[in-house]
Amino acid sequence: MTAPLSPNQKGALYMTLSMAAFIGNDACVKLVAETVPLFQVIFLRGLGTTLMLAVFVQLTTGLRLSFPRRDRPLIAGRTLAEIASMVMFTLALTNMPIANATAILAALPLAVTLGAAVIFGNPVGWRRLTAIGIGFFGVMLIVQPGTDGFTIWSLLAVLSVVVITARDLFTRAFSPAVPSMSVAVLTAAAVCLVGGVLSLFTPWVAFDLREAALILAASVLIIGGYVFGIMVMRIGEVGFVSPFRYTSLVFALILGFLVFDEFPNALALIGGAVVMGTGIFTLVRERRLARAAAPDADIPKAPSHG
């Protein structure tokens, strides 16, 4: 008989499945946006995501849209940042290789660590500062400013990381009374609404069964990413599980090559490896410092994908 998986092994599996679901969503959006206006896709995907996520939350933890007064400005800021990052990243995604966009997004843990140090005064030693600097150099290898490979879409992907970092810093400032999944439903609804408004500026087009299936698949895959992310939070050690978020780069490379006939050049591949390596170092280093500071504390669970 096969031995049962340990909590860490299960956490790694769930993190990998979460990343696969999110990259699958990106691929579906990129595919359908070739023939259907992007914001029409965003609206229809958002409609499906909001409805399914609301039902899921109601059946599991209960949907609560009443938030503490102190947290309301933070939730508003997070929602606006989510909307802005959605617009930036989806525009970049549909105009550049999926692996390049994903590799740039992989710098998010580095950016959040730096942002938390600047905004919240979290201590960051020279090792992590060095890793952050090297990681951002890796991003420059992916973006390749001043070369033929540089486009405005690469810059937009980098800006989306900045805005997503702001979103995550808003989230870190929430009080414990804020129900995370209810915030996710509210955010999905806001993204859907903005996508609907922006879709009015371009003519809507009729879509066929294949395109409808891709939009539905994108909605389901986002829910899958969230659900597996929740499962990750409830099992496994952060230091062991978190590095598996970088499996997203592997999935993006595979889908980019098989579906879109895209493959990053050598510099972008090196940059992606640099970002991944420094990101893993930063995550592991933060975990070690947290355990040293609170050796008797309960082991925290791995966060869901950003």
Q: What's the confidence (pLDDT) of residue 301?
A: 41
More confident residue, 149 or 268: 268
- 96-131 per-position pLDDT tens digit: 999 999 999 999 989 988 988 888 888 888 888 999
Q: How confident is the model at residue 151 (pLDDT cuts 50, 70, 90)?
A: confident
Q: How confident is the model at residue 294 (pLDDT cuts 50, 70, 90)?
A: low
- 191-209 per-position pLDDT tens digit: 999 999 999 999 999 999 9
Distances from the Cα of 250 to the Cα of 135, 145, 228, angstroms: 18, 24, 18
Q: How confident is the model at residue 235 (pLDDT cuts 50, 70, 90)?
A: confident
- 24-39 per-position pLDDT tens digit: 999 999 999 999 999 9
Q: What is the mean pLDDT of residues 4-13?
A: 85
Rounded Cα distance between 116 and 122, Å, is 6
Residues 6+ apart with CB under 8 A from 183: 67, 75, 78, 171, 174
Positive or negative, the Cα torsion across 66, 70, 72, 74?
negative
User: Are residues 188 and 223 in contact, defined by beta-carbon separation less than 8 angstroms?
Assistant: no
Two structure tokens written together for 203: 């003519």
Q: What's the confidence (pLDDT) of residue 241?
A: 81
Q: What is the mean pLDDT of residues 280-288?
A: 82
Q: What is the mean pLDDT of the chain?
A: 89
Residues 6+ apart with CB under 8 A from 9: 236
- 208-231 per-position pLDDT tens digit: 999 999 999 999 999 999 888 878
At residue 303, the 3 state secondary structure works out as coil
Rounded Cα distance between 302 and 36, Å, is 36
Residue 188 pLDDT exceeds 60: yes
Q: What's the confidence (pLDDT) of residue 275?
A: 94
Residue 81 pLDDT exceeds 50: yes
Q: What's the confidence (pLDDT) of residue 295?
A: 52
Residue 89 pLDDT exceeds 60: yes
Residue 8 pLDDT exceeds 70: yes
Q: What is the mean pLDDT of residues 265-275?
A: 94
Q: How confident is the model at residue 58 (pLDDT cuts 50, 70, 90)?
A: very high
Q: What's the confidence (pLDDT) of residue 296?
A: 45
